[in-house]
Amino acid sequence: MRNIVVLISGSGSNMAAILRAAQQEDWSVTLGARVAGVISNRADAGGLALARQAGVATAVLDHRAFASREAFDEALGRQIAQFDAGAAVPALVILAGFMRILTPGFVAAHAGRLLNIHPSLLPAFPGLHTHQRAIDAGCHIAGATVHEVTAELDHGPILGQAVVPVLPGESADRLAARVLAQEHLLYPRAIKAFLRRPGA
């Protein structure tokens, strides 16, 4: 069984989409995978309650309690290992609105099994405020990208993308909502494809 550990910081809507897909499509049978745990760096993250309601184990690691980014990432790695105890294959770690930049050491330790979703059509608009930046640049399309995480922010190999049109006079908030709806379809699909790859 391949364990999946999801990292969140907020409402967890992408996490919830992954949990729904895993349950409805019976990933434990069809993919030999299950969501083993959800970790948040914020105790007030709404996604924690959603995970518990789905019967998934949760943990909170408040980054403010650690003296350095490295110390936090070391604790995060230990918590992932606890959720993955006894598994033959290391856990697939899914960033779903996890608002922390991971250290190169953490990324290296989880290389090849660390995925993220970003609300732009990478390589365009890495970082924050992607929707307003797309509007300001006059883009006719926007979207989201699932990619492997590397030490360079938002620059890992692309695993899948979803595209939406930028409508005339559209606000960043409205565009963000339409992109998010596509993220909820894209992320589970990209995870499934990743798990089906030889050697995954």
User: What tokens does 16 get?
Assistant: 């919830």
Residues 6+ apart with CB under 8 A from 58: 37, 38, 39, 40, 48, 51, 52
For strands 114-118 and 141-148, give the pairing: antiparallel
**Torsion sign over Cα 82, 87, 89, 94:** negative
DSSP 113: S
Nearest to 1 by CA among 198, 195, 163: 195
Q: Quick check: is 140 catalytic?
A: no
Q: Which of 110, 118, 131, 184 is catalytic?
A: 118
- H-only helix segments in 10-91: 13-24, 27-30, 46-53, 69-83
- H-only helix segments in 25-156: 27-30, 46-53, 69-83, 104-109, 130-136
- Angstrom CA distances, 45 to 13, 22, 24, 93, 103, stand at 11, 21, 24, 18, 22
Contact 41, 106 (CB under 8 A): no
Residues tagged active-site: 118
